[in-house]
């Protein structure tokens, strides 16, 4: 058998402890995301692909390019995207959308002065590919159709510019809309006949018009967001931060809610909202004073 060093395939050079620590510190500093040791192999795989894409021999060359040869700012966006976990679904943690539809929306509408049709504002604050924002928009559109009528706008934000671009495209594999109830699937998605790829669907223009996406970093001290938002979905992102960052982000986002506005955290993140002066009205669902 040929010795490994004699093979044609180059030996893949791994990420050293020092390099992993350097990438970890950068990502934590810029996004709040902790690259725990359990994520090392996954991160290394992604860095290796990135290095190959740029024509570099291995992750050490990539690391030198980023940290020693002035490549950091040009690579930052790509590096941040590599460090994020973007798993999402339509109607993910469906109980939240049931509560949103049956209880939160009627209460928010009832609290508005009579007369003009109110305008509700919803913010999906770690929006990934937009599934959460479009789910909220479908629920809002259905409620407005049932009446009494109201206007609404949904904002989706994410630190990854790649995810923001995907969310704006609003094109999904057809399999991804399986959790969407059939009447809504028929009303709010179109098969991609124009591209000939019927395995893809696109959110209809009427719903897309109601949903806007922008890049935003939750750990920034100042967020360019209105301060009269009705409902904020902040789900399945706090788990990537350390406890002080989790609390700081929740405190900061709560300032963007109108009085009696509602903050919704992921089911596994529900405990983070405890002891912060909110009224808990469901699992991970908090009303601000």
Query: Residue numbers of the site for ligand SAM (CB under 6 A)?
Result: 31-33, 84-88, 92, 126, 128, 132, 158-160, 163, 217-219, 235-237, 240, 266
CB of 16 to ligand SAM, least distance (A): 25
Which residue, 235 or 256, is less far from ligand SAM as judged by CB? Answer: 235
Strand partners, 263: 232, 286
CA distances from 239 to 119, 120, 167, 252, 285 (A): 31, 28, 22, 17, 16
Strand partners, 121: 153
CB of 224 to ligand SAM, least distance (A): 13
Which residue, 64 or 87, is less far from ligand SAM as judged by CB? Answer: 87
Which residue, 33 or 51, is less far from ligand SAM as judged by CB? Answer: 33
What distance in Å separates the CA atoms of residue 211 and residue 208, rounded to the nearest whole number?
5
First to last CA, the chain: 72
CB of 213 to ligand SAM, least distance (A): 11
Which residue, 42 or 64, is less far from ligand SAM as judged by CB? Answer: 42
CB of 93 to ligand SAM, least distance (A): 7
């Amino acid at each position: 058998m040929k010795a490994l060093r004699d093979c044609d395939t180059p030996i893949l050079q791994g990420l050293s402890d020092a390099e992993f620590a350097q990438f970890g510190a950068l990502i934590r500093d810029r996004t709040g995301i902790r690259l725990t040791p359990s994520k090392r192999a996954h991160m290394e795989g992604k860095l290796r692909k990135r290095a190959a894409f740029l024509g570099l021999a291995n992750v050490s060359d990539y690391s030198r390019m980023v940290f020693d040869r002035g490549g950091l700012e040009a690579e930052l966006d790509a590096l941040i995207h590599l460090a994020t976990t973007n798993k999402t679904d339509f109607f993910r943690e469906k109980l939240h959308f049931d509560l949103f539809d049956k209880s939160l929306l009627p209460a928010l509408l009832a609290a508005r002065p009579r007369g003009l049709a109110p305008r509700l504002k919803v913010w999906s604050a770690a929006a990934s590919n937009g599934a959460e924002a479009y789910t909220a928009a479908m629920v809002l559109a259905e409620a407005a159709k049932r009446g009494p009528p109201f206007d609404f706008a949904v904002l989706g934000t994410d630190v990854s510019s790649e995810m923001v671009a995907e969310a704006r495209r609003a094109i999904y594999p057809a399999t991804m809309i399986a959790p969407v109830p059939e009447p809504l699937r028929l009303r709010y998605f179109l098969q991609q006949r124009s591209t000939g790829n019927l395995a893809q669907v696109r959110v209809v223009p009427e719903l897309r018009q109601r949903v806007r996406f922008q890049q935003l970093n939750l750990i920034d001290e100042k967020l360019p967001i209105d301060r009269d938002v009705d409902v904020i979905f902040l789900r399945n992102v706090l788990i990537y931060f350390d406890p002080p960052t989790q609390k700081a982000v929740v405190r900061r986002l709560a300032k963007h809610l109108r009085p009696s506005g509602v903050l919704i955290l992921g089911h596994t993140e529900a405990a983070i909202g405890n002891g912060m002066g909110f009224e808990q009205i469901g699992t991970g669902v908090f009303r601000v004073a």
